[in-house]
Structure 1
Amino acid sequence: MNVATAHRPSPRTSRAIDRLTVESFATRTEMGAAAAADIAGALIKCLSGQSTVRMVFAAAPSQAEMLSALAAQPGIDWTRVTAFHMDEYIGLDPTSPARFANWLDTHVFTRLPFAAVHRITPEPDVEAEVARYSGLLNEAPIDLVCLGIGVNGHIAFNDPPVADFNDPLDVKIVELDDVCRKQQVDDDCFPDLASVPHQAITLTVPRLLRARRLFCVVPGAVKRDAVSKTLYGPLSADCPATILRNHEACTLYIDRDSDPDA
């Protein structure tokens, strides 16, 4: 057994929904530790067969336990890993702690010796940044994506009104719907709805799905309905996360609170 995965917690239940593997854990901490162990194992396997790995991170409180556990995993040569993130607000002060790049700096980007970290920086020209980031993503394949699911079923900032399973773009500017914006307040990222930006830059659904391996971490009772729709609802952009059921290598990690079958 690989040293990085030696202490992986066991799930309460494990099941397959279409092509999606679903693992449910008793606690949020166990969920994060198991996801981190699996991500570490995938990283080590990739690095054993290629010179570098490129991976995308989500920024959200739901990812905190996993990222903390991942940063502590042994045996990973982070100097050969290039990091991206999947979305960023437009219009926030660059120093705001609510900026996703800043959140990821705190939780992972500055904690590990990455080969490179590519941050989405909307200023001063949002359209130019979309083009720049698309180019960076397309320089080589993306190996791993660490993502979550929003209360409205979004992945990245692909909310139901703007999600497109056949999007021709890799990165785009989107309008955030009010459910998504309210979630940011409920997550204590903003003091009130008026403080939450209305626009963001996001990786599109097809861009995320082109990654070789996806790890989706979704704890908490507030996400239970979104998880239920993801697993059992019709495949539709009305719940963008349903598309994860089509990916050939995606695991969904949930805890007792977010598990609709618990």
Structure 2
Amino acid sequence: MINKTFQGNLQVREFATREEMGTDAAEAVATTIKDLLKEKEYVNMIFASAPSQNEFLIGLENAKDVDWSRVVAFHMDEYIGLKSDHPQTFANFLRKKLFNKLPFHKVHYIDGNADSPDGECKRYSQLLMDNPVDIVCMGIGENNHIAFNDPHVADFDDSRLVKIVDLDSESRQQQVNDGCFDSIEDVPTHALTLTIPALTNANYIYCIVPGKNKAKAVRHTLKEEISPRYPSTILRTHSDAILFLDKDSASAL
């Protein structure tokens, strides 16, 4: 670790490489899972689907002595309208990277092809209410979104847990920058997303943000006024959140 600081309540850990960052984040999450399982039967977790999470997800796969059969998993967003076998659905990303590799007790998937998107929001919201979230593992978008709460739809006091959103152009372009789609025209325009309260209601938040493309967003997260204009600034108010950076994502600090 290069550095450990605090910005508000948010602990910030900086590492020399993505690999070191991912390993440390995975170890921290694994320790929290094991501690929680001493007190409760199941741990409920939310995961993000993005290349920025790759090193962290590899670290989780290799974590020692975690009883994954007592972990219930959710994911935080899903495109509307992509075919269920499309490789860029967030469900398929996490199946490939994590969910098919470890013996989770249960994985709850968001259905981006549900006949009624509103009905799917209600169904997934009920699952979250029935399984209060212990741990969120997330990233930050280039426009400071968390999940798909882009600035124009971000609401720190949202009464909903899951909602339908239209994606702004910067958020869609990020999917191209990440190599997930060939052009912005290929990126869906709408998605289902967990809201900001659905994420911040969790007891623990681990936010993994590597890469040069995220340097500006990291600076905004730590330096700007806490407001929906920069949705990730809300992390500075959480009672138990850690932001994991590599030297590239921390380069604008």
Shared fold per TM-score greater than 0.5: yes
Instruction: Report if aligned partners of 1:227, 1:260 keep a CA contact under 8 Å in 2.
Output: no
Give, in whole Å, the separation in 1 of the partners of 2:64 and 2:172. Answer: 37
Give, in whole Å, the separation in 2 of the partners of 1:164 and 1:260. Answer: 29
Note if 1:70 corresponds to 2:67.
no
Which whole-Å deviations, capped at 9, do the CAs of 1:126-169 have from their partners, x for residues lacking one?
11111100000000320000000000000000000000011111
Give, in whole Å, the separation in 2 of the partners of 1:204 and 1:127. Answer: 14
Equivalent position amino acid for 2:85 in 1: T
Partner of 2:17: 27
Partner of 1:166: 157
The one of 165, 169, 174 equivalent to 1:178 is 169
TM-score under structure 1 length normalisation? 0.95
| Other structure's SS at 1:164 match | coil
Matches within 5 A, 1:65-214: 65-122=55-112, 123-214=114-205
Matches within 5 A, 1:213-232: 213-232=204-223
Equivalent position amino acid for 1:202 in 2: T
- Offset of residue 261 of structure 1: 5.5
Between Structure 1 and Structure 2, how many residues are aligned? Answer: 252
Which whole-Å deviations, capped at 9, do the CAs of 1:202-235 have from their partners, x for residues lacking one?
0000110000000000000000000000001111
Instruction: Report if aligned partners of 2:216, 2:252 keep a CA contact under 8 Å in 1.
Output: no
Structure 2 unaligned segments of length 5 or more: list them. none
- Offset of residue 247 of structure 1: 0.2
Give, in whole Å, the separation in 2 of the partners of 1:166 and 1:237. Answer: 10
Equivalent position amino acid for 1:45 in 2: D
Aligned-pair identity in percent equals: 47
Give, in whole Å, the separation in 1 of the partners of 2:5 and 2:17. Answer: 18
Give, in whole Å, the separation in 2 of the partners of 1:125 and 1:96. Answer: 20
| Other structure's SS at 2:165 match | strand
Give, in whole Å, the separation in 1 of the partners of 2:90 and 2:252. Answer: 32
Across the aligned residues of Structure 1 and Structure 2, the Cα RMSD in angstroms comes to: 0.8
Give, in whole Å, the separation in 1 of the partners of 2:24 and 2:59. Answer: 9
Instruction: Report if aligned partners of 1:171, 1:203 keep a CA contact under 8 Å in 2.
Output: yes
Note if 1:36 corresponds to 2:26.
yes
Partner of 2:224: 233
| Other structure's SS at 2:130 match | coil
Instruction: Report if aligned partners of 1:86, 1:203 keep a CA contact under 8 Å in 2.
Output: yes
Equivalent position amino acid for 2:130 in 1: E
Which whole-Å deviations, capped at 9, do the CAs of 1:37-90 have from their partners, x for residues lacking one?
000000000011111100000000000100011111111000000000000000
Give, in whole Å, the separation in 1 of the partners of 2:105 and 2:116. Answer: 26
The one of 2, 10, 20 equivalent to 1:12 is 2
Instruction: Report if aligned partners of 2:212, 2:251 keep a CA contact under 8 Å in 1.
Output: no
Give, in whole Å, the separation in 2 of the partners of 1:66 and 1:206. Answer: 24
| Other structure's SS at 1:163 match | coil
| Other structure's SS at 1:67 match | helix
